[in-house]
Structure 1
Amino acid sequence: MNLFEPEINHSKNWLPYDGTVNYYGYILNKKAADNYLNHLLEDIEWRNDEAIIFGKRIITKRKVAWYGEKTFSYTYSNTTKHALPWTKSLLDLKTLIEQKTGETFNSCLLNLYHDGSEGMAWHSDGEKDLKKNGAIASLSFGAERKFAFKHKDTKKKIELILEHGSLLIMKDDTQTHWLHRLPPTKLIKTPRVNLTFRTIVENLK
């Protein structure tokens, strides 16, 4: 972190009610974040994401990858993925995040957005494979992008800018009561890689 930038209060809850979101800001300096971004772009086994919507198979431009400590399966959008073994970079980042937050994680879902035209629609991470009310650590690399929350009942919205090398934590009742999304934008021409470290309940196949 730049010594001349004010330190972010990571204990602040960005949600007014029904959940907890903490934003840590940069947890890596620019050089380290650049290095990790390059490793992730080159070393991860990226695949176009798939979803079954109203019985129709949809292939996204956005690419994804799923890694974990075991061959966990994870089902969302009516498709199932099986975790690949950790890479060294992912293990190093997992250790760093666990030290920063005091949480533990056993898997990571990665998303590659090639430019601002690719985003994510409103959703919550409430799949049965995930630990109920468990923490999800969102680590961002590359282009700075807006990230938004919307309460399922009151429709109240909260927005943040997720920076290169920054960490955001969602936990407690957040997934039960709030949706989140990454809105598309025509202004961003460079890629963003997002890592969401999670805890999968035992469901080995």
Structure 2
Amino acid sequence: MELFKQDTTTNILPYGGEVIYYGKVLATQKADNYLDILLNTIEWKNDEAVIFGRHIITKRKVAWYADNEYSYTYSNTTKHALPWTKELLQLKKLTEKLTGHQFNSCLLNLYHNGDEGMAWHSDDEKALGKDTAIASLSFGAERKFALKHRESKHKEEVILAHGSLLIMKGATQSNWLHCLPKSKKIKTPRVNLTFRTMVSNMQ
């Protein structure tokens, strides 16, 4: 597997957490192949959420894979994990090698175009533990990833390239929110793999 060597020592956050952007870690052809496989083999389902008592079904699709039959609850809905595919295990191994962290699960997001995004939030659910690392692999359309400090409101942004890797760790989820802004200019899909470590099996 062809990799790109990156300077991975730079924290893009000025304080209160650690976010490392590795840039492209897969050659374009390899990333293209993974994108095609992920679009066509993952068991995608429309995401659901209960917000202020209303049941919302999003255009964005999600999938949840893990070592065991973990359940994962966020936005007042619960998802049950599927067993890893061959390609997801390959990407998990690559991510673990580059980041030095071990992961036991992956939440995947499919954004069909720039009309779909993610509002400000933090990944601080109890099942993830406190201040655990979350690594994000991106495939497809380049999208802006924004972070905002909870108190100071200071913002940082990075463009996530096709075949790129980013990791959030330390106190990032406690101190910062993040989002994927919408953009009318983006007409092609993006697949995002967020590798996580579940600390409790909530079956």
Distance in 1 (alpha carbons) for counterparts of 2:36 and 2:157: 27
Paired residues, what number? 202
User: After TM superposition, which residue ranges in structure 1, 4 or more long, deviate above 6 angstroms?
Assistant: none
Which blocks of at least 5 consecutive residues in structure 1 are unaligned? none
Query: So what's the TM-score if we normalise by structure 1?
Result: 0.96
Query: So what's the TM-score if we normalise by structure 2?
Result: 0.97
Distance in 2 (alpha carbons) for counterparts of 1:74 and 1:123: 16
Q: Provide the residue aligned with 2:71 in structure 1.
A: 73
Distance in 1 (alpha carbons) for counterparts of 2:83 and 2:130: 24
The one-letter amino acid paired with 2:177 is L
Measured after TM superposition, the shift of residue 204 of structure 1 is 4.2
Distance in 2 (alpha carbons) for counterparts of 1:161 and 1:108: 21
What is the RMSD computed on CA atoms of the aligned residues?
A: 1.3
Q: Provide the residue aligned with 1:105 in structure 2.
A: 103
- The within-5 A match list for 1:11-22 is 11-22=9-20
Distance in 2 (alpha carbons) for counterparts of 1:200 and 1:176: 17
The one-letter amino acid paired with 1:165 is G
Measured after TM superposition, the shift of residue 60 of structure 1 is 0.1
What secondary structure does 1:125 align onto? coil
Measured after TM superposition, the shift of residue 2 of structure 1 is 9.6
Return closer, same or farther for 1:2/1:101 CA change in 2, 3 Å cut-off.
Answer: closer
Measured after TM superposition, the shift of residue 10 of structure 1 is 1.3
Measured after TM superposition, the shift of residue 32 of structure 1 is 0.5
Cα deviation 1:153-177 (Å, max 9, x = unaligned): 0000000000000000000000000
Measured after TM superposition, the shift of residue 198 of structure 1 is 0.1
Q: Provide the residue aligned with 2:164 in structure 1.
A: 166
Cα deviation 1:107-151 (Å, max 9, x = unaligned): 000000000010000000000110311110000000000000000
Measured after TM superposition, the shift of residue 201 of structure 1 is 1.1
Cα deviation 1:38-57 (Å, max 9, x = unaligned): 00000100000000001110
Q: Provide the residue aligned with 1:57 in structure 2.
A: 55
Measured after TM superposition, the shift of residue 202 of structure 1 is 2.2
What secondary structure does 1:194 align onto? strand
1:194 aligns with 2:185: no
Cα deviation 1:19-53 (Å, max 9, x = unaligned): 00001001100010000000000010000000000
Cα deviation 1:52-93 (Å, max 9, x = unaligned): 001110000000000000000100000000100000000000
Q: Provide the residue aligned with 2:21 in structure 1.
A: 23
Q: Provide the residue aligned with 1:93 in structure 2.
A: 91
Question: 2:133·2:196 contact (CA, 8 Å) conserved in 1?
Answer: yes
Distance in 1 (alpha carbons) for counterparts of 2:25 and 2:61: 24
Return closer, same or farther for 1:165/1:61 CA change in 2, 3 Å cut-off.
Answer: same
1:37 aligns with 2:21: no
**Identity between Structure 1 and Structure 2 (%):** 67
Q: Provide the residue aligned with 2:152 in structure 1.
A: 154
Distance in 2 (alpha carbons) for counterparts of 1:177 and 1:193: 26
Which blocks of at least 5 consecutive residues in structure 2 are unaligned? none
Question: 2:119·2:179 contact (CA, 8 Å) conserved in 1?
Answer: yes
Distance in 2 (alpha carbons) for counterparts of 1:165 and 1:157: 24
Distance in 2 (alpha carbons) for counterparts of 1:12 and 1:153: 23
